[in-house]
Every structure is written in structure tokens, then in C-alpha cells.
Structure 1
Amino acid sequence: MSIFHNRREFLALTGAAAGALALTGCGTGSGSGAPVADGRGKPRRGGRFRALFTGGGEQETIDPHAEALAIDMARTKALFDRLVDLDATMAPVPRLARKWESNADATVWRFTLRDALFHDGKPLTPEDVLFTFGRILDPKATTHFAQSLLSVIDLKKSRSAGKNVVEVALKRPGAEFPALLGTLGTAVVSSRYTDPAKPVGTGAFTLKSFRAGRAFVAERFDDHWDGGAYVDELRILSADADARGNALRAGEAEYGYEMTPTFARTVQADKSVRILAAKGSTAHAIVMKCDQEPFDNPDVTRAFKLLADREKLVQVVLAGQGVVGNDMFGKGYQYYPEDVPQRTRDVAEARSLLKRAGALNKTLSIYTSAVATGFVEAATLFAEQAADAGLRVKVTTGASETYFKDQLAKGVMGSHRSGAMTIPNYINDRLLTKSAFNASGWRREDFDATFAKAQSTTDAGERGKLYGRLQRTVRDEGGLLIWGHPDWLNGVSSRVRGMEAAPPNTLDSGRFDKVWLA
């Protein structure tokens, strides 16, 4: 639910004095009057930019190592920078680190730092980076999201190797280590950073005010290493989906995060709003638990994958705003094997496999929830598609509040989705024997061993082949029926420039330092 109780409260938080002002000049000027494009379409400074996200109430934070919500990530991205970030294909790209290299076995990485200033005027040093790692890995800090991912760092053996070089030692080979530094909860903080309410970062904006569950206001940091922001002021606010859409159309906001397919269709003819659609950027799936009957038989999981009418699922559940899946995560990302033929529906072959496995007369249940848009609809439609082979599939709906935890213990099938992340991170989080979120119950020692080999292979070509082999194995034998990849839909005012479609969790997603107002 939106935290805004009425229109007046929303306008007060966005800084408008009255509704009429919001509809004409609110958020467009740097003091008074709207900025005008210079005629050549070049970026210009000035103005106030208002971005709306799903809120998290009192759980919201501006601690960059405890960020858990999209609204947290947007705020910390404004205030801080990472050593490395991820591009649209989930490949690592330089940020505070200008370059990096490893030793022969990828157990030691050297990062050369940029000349960057913190908001307190002090320069970025290797000691700040080491302090950051220490803070993330503090065992008392249980909310630090990247703690598990970065536990591979051997902090005692890591060191400063000069004025602008930091040497990071690892406990085991890590060919993908730079990409880990581009993930959630890894921003670099100053060694003088002690109070999350008083952030000391190198980001393009400095904090002016923050109220969890309410609003965040930041100002341009003119000494930012990447040139600084164009807008004078950034406001990031909490609002539900309907409020985000209404505010965009009324000119009361410049950016709306994660808009629905329905909204995207509605505003097609609206010249005041533009939809940024990052094609196929996330994943929707039905998981089958490979450690339970009947899905401990690969013939059964393969049969279910053949029963899915993927095109219809995309058209109906995603309203056509997506692309069909091929039972592998990360379509379009680094290490995705594009040469694998697209799986298509084959009811006759599915029925033959099910008959051979003795599974035709079983009644199975899909455990789902309204926690995510499309979960219940996809489960219901797939149950109808499975009936074409004579299967009886029952849809069971659970509580939204605890669904993702409950799903690990309940039922033999379930609804699943994943946001954008690197393919190695997805495998690590969801497909290894000891993965905490292994919803498909996929546990194979040979698979784990191949993944470990890929992680330690420094030759990029060989590493890519190993990840391709892992992806093909899951597609052919695993319990992931990845039927579709929804488009990532965000809305912007037609006056916004400098912002393009980008997958979530990447450098250009929810990034406001390069936007300007025409």
C-alpha cells in the first residue's frame, strides 16, 4: 500500500506547494521556472528529479551494505559507488576500480583505483576499500547482504600495494571475483564511515535528508569523479504501483519503478509518459523438486517441460511483455549458451515419457502465491496445459508474506522468479547442493564439481564452455521449467533524457546521475 494517504500529502513530500504547480512546473526548475533544452539536445544542469519506488516502510535503509529493497539500492547508488559494476549482459565493468588483474590461479586480485573524492573531501585510498570489506564481513553484522558472497576474501592477507592499488587475497581460486564486487551490498565506504545516518561515500549525490518509509532528498556532488549529476536535487519516494502511475501521468514524478504490463499498454498513446522496457530481463519459472517423487526421475521433469505452451504463457500471463524461456537462466547474459535449440511443446512425447515413468495417473500440486504478479495465473494456465496429457494438477495458494520460505518445504512444485544477476551467482545461490535457495532440490556432486572448476578457470573461453555445460545439464535434467523472461518495465516522464532501458541490478538501472530534464 502507498504511504501517501492523499494527494496533498504526496505533493508535500515532492516539494510542490499546490496541485496546479505540480502539473506545470514542479520538479523542473532549479529555483523557479522550468529548464529548457538548449536546442541541440545536449545535457544541461538544473532541476529536481523525483523517482518513485515500492516502499518498505521502517525497514528501508541507506546503509549500502544492508540494502535489501529496490528503493534502498536506488538511494545507495546515488550516495556511493562500487569498485566494479555490471553491464546489461551481467559482465563486470570498471567503476571506482579503473582496472584489475589476477595472478595465475586467481587467488590474488589487484585493483587499481581511480582518483575519486569522498563527500568529506578526502581521497579514495586502498585502506578505504579494505575497511569496506571488513565492514561487510563483520560477523556481527547479520544484515550485510554480500557477506556470504565475499566470504571468499582472506582479509588478513589482503593489503594496500601502493597509493592507488589494493591487493585482495582469496581463500580459494575465484575467476569471477570482479563480478562479485558488482552485486548487491558491495559499495565502497570511507574508513571514517561509522554512522549509517551520516553516509560518507563517493557517489554523485550527497545526502540532504532521509526518512525511512517516507522520502529521501539528495543534492548534486560537484566533485564526483565521473562528472557529477546534471540535476540539482534528487528525491526518491515510496509509492505503490497505482500511485506511481498516476503521479507519472499527472507530471508529479519523473520516474516510476517497475510498472505493470497493464500500465505500459495504457500509456502507449500518452505523450507525457515513456516506458523503458528492458527485454526479457528477469525469469519466471515453475520448479519441480528433483529430490522428491515423481521428479526424481528426469523423464518426468522433461515431460513437464514439453507440456508448457510457452508462447501462450507469455501472451496471457505477461500480456506479451516478455520472451519465451528455454529452461535456462540468464537469457542474453554473459555465459548463456545461445546455440541451444528452443524447446517447444510436444504433448505426445510428454505423454510417452510420463507413461514410461508411471506418472500419468498421479495428482500433483503446484504451490503458488499472489506474492508476485503472474504466479497464480501462470500456475493455473500451466495446470490446464498439463491436462492435455491427461495429468491432474491442482493449484494450491499460500500466504504471500512467507511464500518464498514456505516454498522450500511445501509441495513438489512451485512458482519461481528471479531478478537479474550473473549466471554464476544464480547457480551458486539456487543450484548447488548447499545452496540456501535451492527450490528445485537439485543436488549433484558432479555438477558442484564442474561449477567449482569453472570458478577457478582463468581462461575466459574455457570458463564459458564450463558454464555452458552446466546450463545444458540443468535444461535437460534439472527441475527448472523457465517458461518466460518478462520485460523489465519502468516509466519516465517524456521530459526525461539520459535514461535508457536496463536490466535490474545493473549499472544503468535506477541510475540518476546522468539524467537531465528537457
Structure 2
Amino acid sequence: MNRTSTSRAMPLTGIATALALLTTGCAVDGEGGAAAHGSDTGEPLRVGAVEAAGQTVDDPHGSLFNESDWLRLSALYDTLIGVDTAGDPAPGIAEEWTASDDATTWTLTLRDDAVFSDGVPVTSADVMHSLERMDALSAENGQRLGTVSVGESSAPDDHTVVLSTTMPDADLPRTLAGSAFIVPDGTEDFSDPIGSGPFNLTARADQGAELERNGEWWGSEERVDALEIRGFESPQAMSSAIESAEIDIAMGVDPTTAAAAAEEFTVVQRENETTTPLLMRLDEEPFDSPEVREAVKIGLDREELVETVHLGYGTVGADLPQPADPSAPDLQAPERDVDRARDLLAGAGVDEDTTVDLHTTSAYPSMPVAAEAIAEQLGEIGLSVEVVEHDPQTYWSETYTQVPFSIGYNAYMPYPVWARQTALSTSAFNETGWQDELFDEDFARALATVDEAERNEILGELQTRFAEEGGLVAWGHGDGLSIVRDGVEGVSDAAGMARVRLVGVTR
């Protein structure tokens, strides 16, 4: 079948213009229109999110730092493996999957009722093209395919894909869940997107998108007739928008706004969703010294940091990057010891004349607050810290991973995904310069272990070692916070990719 675009994407001159097109009446779709899926008013559900990394992107396979991009692309495109409301792997384009005994080959059976917005059925050719694009852009997307060897994978028929891995990987479904977007075979231009997801694009602007319900989507979950996704350059601007009733959901608000809004709106908490770690590069002075790293770790009052930065919407951290992962060990956070920290610094030749720059940005509200609080506490152990704040438009591309001492940010993801992106010698975003061949080998051994309990035990040992020897200080973990206006239901309280699922959200 020849592919002819039926998308009606258009430039926006303003949100009101697009809304007028969407709210002239309730659309009737293949599932019976508005009456068939709840009490939707026909007015768009308006969702706001921060555009922390600058310009929005349309390519679903490259670098995705913006929450607004994740929301929009997850609405437009199906993923090979989906996520359920708890964030666990669930059927997507693939209805089921099985692994070989050694976890080096995964056979995925594709559903036969998925259709792109132009009427063309989704087949294995579309899946293979999408995987090839993700593989080609792996340096940009943080190796989102994990261990998949696209060149060794195949599509024996229209509804079967056989994935080969570069090493045994018993955890592959969690790696792919919610992030491997499927686009039509041959697609390279995404300015007029054709997807098979729960919504179709009707209008697009730099900081906004209008979508309508896709009546041909295979899923049965309730969802609204019309959706508006707005990107905001700062959390403060987004908070003002929900207070003035310009949006119905504010994704990822700061704790101050959440606390102030609790009496008037519903505050959805996703426990331990975010981490704002302190990053010390092991290949840069003075943090190449184990004594300096230990001094920093025991020089922090972690309880005070959680209260200052997260206003109680969080928990104290023990330098575990993903404490909610099933493989996370039960570690105790280091207790603050100012005297020992001072002795360690002195022994490493760091005195009060030594000043280090701590780099941060306002991309996420916790980042500058954490930097200032950490600088003050480290000053009390004799380490002079100067906070340097960068433009959020350029921080992730020009500063992050490139300076000795910085503030990072990550949302919840499975630990193996985080480690592959961040902690291996080959990681695209090796935040702390951790280079350890034995760590790499043990990580590969863990993924090759089919028994889940044994695999988690090995991964737990790796996390313990990384916490003790590495340069990442996960001093605390903040709850993901969203503000929801009255009448809106179904916003997920699960961390991870479940947070960007807008199916199931009704009004």
C-alpha cells in the first residue's frame, strides 16, 4: 500500500487558534465518539511540562531531554514494548515476547491490529526500520536499545521480530519498555508525523502541540477526545499557568508550588522519582583522590538537604542512583562527620585556599537549590565552593559530564538502563568518569543471569561498590510531583515511563 499522509499538522499562531479547531464539537470515532469513553467535555485536556534542555525535537529516536517531548511522542507513537500503570513492561506493538535459554535471542510477536494514522498496518518492517534508526543515533539517545544487535536481528515475517543481543540480557524487556518508538518504514522526516499511538497530531508550535483522539488505536483504555501539550521554559512559568487555569495538569512542579497548591488542587506524588546527584569526576582534580570523595560524602547533612531542597517530599539517599529498583541493596546513608571530613581533606592536600566550582542550572527546580545548600555545607568542612549557574538551554550539551564538579538530574529508570547509560566504560553519559573493566564484566555477568534473584544480587553488589568508591553522591531522592485540577482523573502515581502515559487520564 502506498503511504499518503493524512496528518493535519499546521503551524500555530497561538494556542487559541488551534483550540478553536479542536473544540467545535465532539468527534465521533471508531469506538463510538465521546459518549463511549466517559464524561469528556470535548474541551482539550491541557498538560504542561518543562522544556529543560532547550528546543523541542520531533525525532523520537534521538536525544530526548524534554519532558514535553516525551509526553507528545508517547501520545503519537506506539512503542515496541509498552508500560502499564505501574511502569512495568506491558504489550505494545509486541503482544508477547520470549527469550532463549541463554537470553541472547528474544522472539517478539507483533499485534495484527495496529494501524498508522494514514491507514497502513504496522508490520515488522516498520519495527526494524525504527530499531535501525535508534541504533544509528545511539550516541544521542544514550544507547536506548541497550544490548540489541540490530545487524544480527531479523524479521522472518510481517508479525515476528527476532532480536539478537551483543551479550546475554535477561532484563531486555525493561530496557525497551516505553522508549522504543515505532515509526513507518523509511521515515526520516518527522515534521508531519505518522504514528499508530493513541492520539494524532493536528497542530504544532515550538512550545505547544494539539492532538486528537485516534479512533483506530488498538488500545481499549479510556482517554480524552482532545489533548494539548504545552512546554514551559521554567517550572515557575508552568506553576503560574496552572494557578491561572491555563493548564489542567502541571507535570514535575517544584515542592514549594506543590505545598502551596495542596489545599486547592490534587498533588500526585511519585515516590523517589527524581535524583539531583552531586557529580565528582574521578579523572579530574581534586576528585581523583578517594579521600576527597569520601570527605564530600560524609561532609553533607543529607536530612537537611532533603528538607531544604524537597521540603520533605523525598527521602535521604545512600548514594544509590535508582533506590526503587528491585536490585537496589539496603544501604545506610553515610552519617555526617565534619571533623573526619576536614582531616581527609587536609591529608589530601586540600586546604581552605582551594576553591572548586560547582556547576548547575535552573533546568529543574531542585538543581540550583541543591547547589547552594551543598556549597554551604561543604564550606563547613573546609572546602570552598563557588556555585556557577549555567543557561538551561546549553547546560546539558556544553557543561554536563564535561566539568569536574556538577549537579546532575535523572528520573527513575531501571538500574541496568541507568548503568548502561551512565556507569560503564562505554556509556554515552559517563557522568563521573567511572572506568572499571571488572565492573563492566560483572555487569555483563548479571545481565546473563536468567534467575532474577541471582541477577539482582549481582547488580546489588555492583551498586554497593559504586556507592563506596564512585563519584556520584545521591544524597536524597525527590518525589515526582504533579498538580492536577479538579475533574481530572487517572494521572499515574508510578515513577518511570508510566508518568508520560496519557491514556487512562480522563475528565
TM-score band by shorter chain is 0.7 to 0.9
Mean CA deviation greater in 309-318 or 341-350: 341-350
Check if 1:208 corresponds to 2:202: yes
After TM superposition, list the pairs within 5 Å mapping 1:32-43 onto structure 2. Answer: 43=38
Structure 1: distance between partners of 2:316 and 2:146: 36
Structure 2: distance between partners of 1:362 and 1:58: 37
Structure 1: distance between partners of 2:163 and 2:96: 14
Provide the residue aligned with 1:446 in structure 2: 438
- Residue 176 of structure 1: which of 164, 171, 177 is its match? 171
Provide the residue aligned with 1:260 in structure 2: 254
Structure 2: distance between partners of 1:218 and 1:165: 30
Mean CA deviation greater in 107-116 or 346-355: 346-355
Query: 1:216 is aligned with what amino acid?
Result: A
**What per-residue deviation string (whole Å, max 9, x for no partner) do you get for residues 308-361 of structure 1?**
101111111222222211111012123211x22233223344345445545456
**What per-residue deviation string (whole Å, max 9, x for no partner) do you get for residues 193-243 of structure 1?**
4642333322111222223x1432222122322115432111222344344
- Residue 344 of structure 1: which of 315, 330, 335 is its match? 335
Once the two structures are TM-superposed, the CA of residue 384 in structure 1 deviates from its matched residue by: 2.9
Structure 2: distance between partners of 1:357 and 1:179: 42
Structure 1: distance between partners of 2:350 and 2:505: 55
Structure 2: distance between partners of 1:477 and 1:318: 26
Once the two structures are TM-superposed, the CA of residue 187 in structure 1 deviates from its matched residue by: 0.7
SS at match of 2:468: helix
Structure 2: distance between partners of 1:383 and 1:146: 32
SS at match of 1:158: strand
After TM superposition, list the pairs within 5 Å mapping 1:86-485 onto structure 2. Answer: 86=83, 91-118=88-115, 119-137=117-135, 139=136, 142=137, 145-146=140-141, 148-150=143-145, 152-162=147-157, 164-182=159-177, 184=179, 186-191=180-185, 193=187, 195-211=189-205, 213-227=206-220, 229-240=222-233, 241-270=235-264, 273-337=265-329, 339-359=330-350, 363-372=354-363, 373-389=365-381, 391-400=382-391, 401-404=393-396, 405-410=398-403, 412-485=404-477
SS at match of 2:95: strand
Assess, with a 3 A threshold, how the Cα gap between structure 1 residues 446 and 120 changes in structure 2: closer, same or farther: same
Structure 1: distance between partners of 2:475 and 2:85: 21
Once the two structures are TM-superposed, the CA of residue 176 in structure 1 deviates from its matched residue by: 2.9
Structure 1: distance between partners of 2:94 and 2:304: 45
Structure 1: distance between partners of 2:63 and 2:484: 24
Provide the residue aligned with 2:505 in structure 1: 515
C-alpha contact (below 8 Å) 2:85/2:492 kept by paired residues: no
- Residue 59 of structure 2: which of 55, 63, 67 is its match? 63
C-alpha contact (below 8 Å) 1:255/1:490 kept by paired residues: yes
Structure 2: distance between partners of 1:479 and 1:381: 19
Provide the residue aligned with 2:5 in structure 1: none
Provide the residue aligned with 2:76 in structure 1: 79
C-alpha contact (below 8 Å) 1:288/1:480 kept by paired residues: yes
Listed as ranges, the gaps of 5+ residues in structure 2 are 1-12, 28-33
Provide the residue aligned with 1:15 in structure 2: 19
Once the two structures are TM-superposed, the CA of residue 72 in structure 1 deviates from its matched residue by: 1.6
Query: 1:344 is aligned with what amino acid?
Result: E
**What per-residue deviation string (whole Å, max 9, x for no partner) do you get for residues 453-474 of structure 1?**
2233222222111110110001
Structure 1: distance between partners of 2:24 and 2:220: 21
Query: 2:360 is aligned with what amino acid?
Result: S
Structure 2: distance between partners of 1:457 and 1:238: 42
Query: 2:258 is aligned with what amino acid?
Result: A
Query: 2:223 is aligned with what amino acid?
Result: Y
Assess, with a 3 A threshold, how the Cα gap between structure 1 residues 319 and 251 changes in structure 2: closer, same or farther: same
RMSD between aligned alpha carbons? 3.2
C-alpha contact (below 8 Å) 2:134/2:144 kept by paired residues: no
Query: 1:425 is aligned with what amino acid?
Result: V
Structure 2: distance between partners of 1:152 and 1:90: 21
Structure 2: distance between partners of 1:75 and 1:144: 22
Assess, with a 3 A threshold, how the Cα gap between structure 1 residues 371 and 251 changes in structure 2: closer, same or farther: closer
Assess, with a 3 A threshold, how the Cα gap between structure 1 residues 435 and 127 changes in structure 2: closer, same or farther: closer
SS at match of 1:282: strand
Query: 2:19 is aligned with what amino acid?
Result: G
Query: 1:309 is aligned with what amino acid?
Result: D
**What per-residue deviation string (whole Å, max 9, x for no partner) do you get for residues 385-430 of structure 1?**
23443x13221415324434335343x4222222222211222222
Structure 1: distance between partners of 2:166 and 2:138: 23
Q: Give the count of matched residue pairs.
A: 481
Mean CA deviation greater in 276-285 or 59-68: 59-68
Once the two structures are TM-superposed, the CA of residue 440 in structure 1 deviates from its matched residue by: 1.9
**How does the TM-score come out when normalised to structure 1?**
0.83
Structure 2: distance between partners of 1:344 and 1:80: 46
Assess, with a 3 A threshold, how the Cα gap between structure 1 residues 176 and 13 changes in structure 2: closer, same or farther: farther
Aligned-pair identity (%): 30
Assess, with a 3 A threshold, how the Cα gap between structure 1 residues 288 and 111 changes in structure 2: closer, same or farther: same
Structure 1: distance between partners of 2:425 and 2:241: 46
Once the two structures are TM-superposed, the CA of residue 252 in structure 1 deviates from its matched residue by: 3.1
C-alpha contact (below 8 Å) 1:81/1:96 kept by paired residues: yes
C-alpha contact (below 8 Å) 2:38/2:222 kept by paired residues: no
C-alpha contact (below 8 Å) 1:451/1:470 kept by paired residues: yes
Structure 2: distance between partners of 1:147 and 1:442: 16
Assess, with a 3 A threshold, how the Cα gap between structure 1 residues 214 and 198 changes in structure 2: closer, same or farther: same
Structure 1: distance between partners of 2:445 and 2:353: 39
Check if 1:52 corresponds to 2:48: yes
Once the two structures are TM-superposed, the CA of residue 376 in structure 1 deviates from its matched residue by: 3.6
